[in-house]
Amino acid sequence: MSIETLVPQANQSSTPFNKESFDEAVMSTYGRFPIALEKGAGCRLWDTEGKEYLDFVAGIATCTLGHAHPALIEAVTQQIQKIHHVSNLYYIPEQGELARWIVNNSCADRAFFCNSGAEANEAAIKLARKYAHTVLEIDKPIILTANASFHGRTLATITATGQPKYQKNFNPLVPGFHYVRYNDIDALEAAISELDEGDYAVGAILLEPLQGEGGVRPGDIKYFQKLRSICDQTGILLIFDEVQVGMGRTGKMWGYQHLGVEPDVFTSAKGLGGGIPIGAMMAKKFCDVFQPGEHASTFGGNPFACAIALTVCHTLENENILENVHHRGEQLRSGLLHIGAKYSDCIAEVRGWGLINGMELQTDIDLSAIDVVKAAMKEGLLLVPAGTKVVRFVPPLIVTEAQVDEALQIVDKVISTLNN
């Protein structure tokens, strides 16, 4: 692969890193691992000490094409020389092309662009509320979301996120959200009927097709199909958060394609720009109720971000990357299942779609996902937890067969050591 030729150069470490200075000047909102990454090529990363890593985090399911991909380098270089930002006061051809590509490759009719997953979900929440007020005629619309979900860190999206740990100390939260158990149709139907009282009623349901941060939990097909028919009957808007699973991560372009249902609205971000910040909210025409001035973003959909995202889209197509995701995903899962069987007193379950996979540790042992992640990092493999007991595997979508084997060997070694 051509990007492998970048390796020798990238291997030369240079910049000394001052951790103390960093910690003094940067807010400590993150519990960071004590390494600083300074170079990347393909699925490899190097830290400031020159240590090499195999990257199975991809900037948290974001670097679709890995690091220093020739197509990204080309697109960034070309676009910055041409035009990078003008605001949405004017037409932006790159934005139109990206919207057209997503529309042609999904169930949606229209796009709104912003800069992150949380912002895309904010846009969806605003759209859903306006739709509830103006079309469903609900005075006090409620949005149902799931326990253990994750939708972002803004005030509305931590409220939508059904995990108290993200909400603690940030109350009062945004009104109008209610939580139900994921994959539980009885709980959902009960909530819809209980919440229909006076001015209140459920106006929208916001769910991940597969819960990412909540522990890599795939949606249940029967649940989602029943959900779709409930929404069809009631007019309740069905919104999918595709921020982590969309853009080919699962081996299909969108997570909803695994469930045999189409959402009315969906959001995308992480993988869309391959590491360049961009978010999108997509909607079918019937529920596009926004009018000029009702929602906006200064940076949203600028020529730079859109040109890069469009390059990610075209590269996914041209290099047949979804097929790679499918095969590498099967390889990774079957390898992890093998490891799971070998250390069954340590590993409870392996699950996922394509290249988003979780390895859940047994609850009755004193081993957390973070312990596995730290041990793997020492061995040169980057992994990320999804909750306390699930180790998540989300490599770049261009990961090779040999790299998956290499990762599996390290995981086997790490589990075997920790298990003793």
Ligand X SMILES: *Cc1c(COP(=O)(O)O)cnc(C)c1O
- Binding residues for ligand X (CB under 6 A): 116-118, 121, 150-152, 208, 212-213, 241, 243-244, 269-270
Q: Which is nearer to ligand X, 176 or 275 (CB)?
A: 275
Rounded CA separation 61/384 (Å): 10
Please check whether residue 388 is in contact with residue 379, taking contact to mean a CB–CB distance below 8 angstroms: no
Q: Which is nearer to ligand X, 117 or 358 (CB)?
A: 117
Kindly state the smallest distance separating residue 198's Cβ from ligand X, in Å. Answer: 31
Q: Which is nearer to ligand X, 213 or 360 (CB)?
A: 213
Q: Which residues pair with 217 in a beta bridge?
A: 211
Kindly state the smallest distance separating residue 119's Cβ from ligand X, in Å. Answer: 7
Residue nearest to ligand X (CB): 117
Kindly state the smallest distance separating residue 150's Cβ from ligand X, in Å. Answer: 5
Strands 347-353 and 356-361: antiparallel
Q: Which is nearer to ligand X, 111 or 414 (CB)?
A: 111
Please check whether residue 246 is in contact with residue 212, taking contact to mean a CB–CB distance below 8 angstroms: no
Kindly state the smallest distance separating residue 123's Cβ from ligand X, in Å. Answer: 12
Q: Which residues are catalytic?
A: 150, 241, 270
Q: Which is nearer to ligand X, 274 or 335 (CB)?
A: 274
In one-letter notation, the amino acid at residue 343 is Y
Rounded CA separation 383/377 (Å): 7
| CA proximity to 239, closest of 326, 160, 140 | 160
Q: Which is nearer to ligand X, 163 or 403 (CB)?
A: 163
Kindly state the smallest distance separating residue 3's Cβ from ligand X, in Å. Answer: 25
Q: Which is nearer to ligand X, 42 or 246 (CB)?
A: 246
Rounded CA separation 82/146 (Å): 44
Kindly state the smallest distance separating residue 60's Cβ from ligand X, in Å. Answer: 7
Kindly state the smallest distance separating residue 352's Cβ from ligand X, in Å. Answer: 14
